[in-house]
Amino acid sequence: MIKTGITKNVPFIFFFLGMMNGVVGTIYGLMISNATLLYINLLAMIMSAVGVVSYIAMTKSKSKPMLQVLFGSIFLLLNHWYCVRIVVHEVQVTEQYGLMMFFISLVLLASPALEVIECMKDKSAEGMSVAMIVGNLSCSLAWLFYGILLKDFFVYAPNIVGVATNLGKAVVKVIYGGKKDKTA
């Protein structure tokens, strides 16, 4: 994207959701006093923010991504205000942030299932990268086991979906490989 200046097939929404998840995960890590969760989410937030800023700098139409960032920021600020002013109790605030992290992670980890469906319709796994499947599966497994060790539902639960999605992608890749079906 930066080399070519072309943003046509760049999934901005995933950079943005990753950044939001990093913000929420960093706050959640702070609240439960878990340095590992805090630093990993802080790094993820920074890396995703670089993607968001790069996209906005490169794209010709800046209004849509800027509005998404604005509305996402307003959502996070209103949620924080709600937690600080209305909820107040630390346990409930922690659960609120954990729940937000859970839902954002769930969206990010479940969305590749749409690619599995598309590949099954096309009878081709042409665009699927084995390296990405292995990397994503490894990441989901690591977070799943870490969440289980912590006994933290908000950490392990979305990664069950992530593992299932990536196993589905692996099965599709084995069945269809990279070839297009000639009969379709």
Q: What is the mean pLDDT of residues 116-131?
A: 87
Per-residue confidence at 1, pLDDT binned at 50, 70, 90?
low
pTM for the model: 0.85
How would you write the chain as a 3-class SS string? Answer: CCCCCCCCCCCHHHHHHHHHHHHHHHHHHHHCCCHHHHHHHHHHHHHHHHHHHHHHHHCCCCHHHHHHHHHHHHHHHHHHHHHHHHHCCHHHHHHHHHHHHHHHHHHHHHCCHHHHHHHHHHCCCCCCCHHHHHHHHHHHHHHHHHHHHHCCHHHHHHHHHHHHHHHHHHHHHHHHCCCCCCCC
Read off the pLDDT of residues 132-178 as tens digits, 9 standing for 90 and up: 999 999 999 999 999 999 999 999 999 999 999 999 999 999 998 86
